[in-house]
Amino acid sequence: MDQMPFHQKELVNRSFPFAALDSPKKPFWFPLHWHEQIEILYVLEGHLTVLINEKTWEGRQGDIFIVDTGLIHGFSDPSPEASVRIFQFGREIFDEPLSLMEDQKVKKPVFGRPPRISPSRDPSVYPLLETILMDINREFQKKESGYRWVIKSDLYKLGAFFLRNMAAEETINTDRITNEKNHTRYLEQIFSFIYSNFDNPDLKLEDAALEVGLSKYYLTRFLKEQTGLGYHDHLSRVRLSRARQYLAESDMPIIDIAYLCGFQSLTTFNRLFKEYTGTNPSAYRN
């Protein structure tokens, strides 16, 4: 899987962000990609190679793989009869703040657990997980009255299953970027993009994510974990650093400096400048 991963969009209906389907082809394979939805892959027949977070597993019949939101993953080298059942759902289906979808002990997403659960390796917990998934699939296929309520209830049950049955110390690192060399490379790409485009008032998180090949959710999480600051904090600091330079070295009007540095209003510029430096632009210049 040497190709650039792509962003797979619009996987689920926004009014009810859940889908369950069996692979439409045999053998099943899919190139590297990422999406905002959580994905669970259940191997129905055969075997295939599963890549998640730059790590590879051999998926056999009955194996269940959990792919948390924003992780690069793909499926390749299948046996001729390989087929899978796929469950995809957005976190918003839980009607809960994202903070409540985390294991508070280790500050990791509930679904950021060991990516593979197999009948041979996890005999004590596997039957319960398989039962929940089959119940969800049955409800989704039949679509009887109230099926959405039942599926949401089972998804809550699924979240509780991971929280209670998969040990916290086994929680995987949900970073896609798994070594120091890649950490540095991605940080350099992100900061280079910000420095090159900070003067664009319409610059968005999505633009930076697209530039470096990460989802906007993962880019935010990655920056927070690596630097303690989010994307917008870094962008504001770069803009304000350049503004301080203009204030010190030129006699341009403050409003011109604000717009030149990418701020869309003088009020926002003044507020952020004082927030970051402790003084207002006029006082700083004097």
pTM of the model: 0.60
Residue 254 pLDDT > 80 = yes
CB pairs under 8 A, 24+ apart, for 105-108? 105/168, 106/168, 106/171, 108/168, 108/171, 108/174
pLDDT in tens, 99-147: 566 666 666 677 877 789 998 888 888 999 999 999 999 999 999 999 9
Which residue ranges form the domains of the chain, and what is each CATH number? 6-170 (2.60.120.280), 180-285 (1.10.10.60)
Sequence-separated (6 or more) residues with CB below 8 Å from residue 150: 139
CA 3 to chain centre: 20
Per DSSP (E only), the strands in 102-170 are 102-103, 108-109, 116-117
Q: Are 174 and 222 in contact (CB under 8 A)?
A: no
Residue 187 pLDDT > 60 = yes
Put the strands of the sheet holding 38-45 in their side by side order: 18-22, 83-89, 38-45, 64-67, 116-117
51-60, 164-173, 274-283: which has the minimum mean pLDDT? 164-173
119-123, 160-164, 211-215: which has the minimum mean pLDDT? 211-215
CA-based nearest residue to 105, from 171, 56, 53 = 171
Comparing 63 with 69, the larger pLDDT belongs to: 63
Q: What is the mean pLDDT of the chain?
A: 84
Q: Are 253 and 217 in contact (CB under 8 A)?
A: no
**Whole-angstrom Cα distance, residue 62 to residue 47?**
10
Amino acid at 189: Q
Residue 97 pLDDT > 80 = no
What percentage of the chain has pLDDT greater than the value 70? 88
pLDDT at 153: 95
**Residue 182 pLDDT level (bands cut at 50, 70, 90):** low
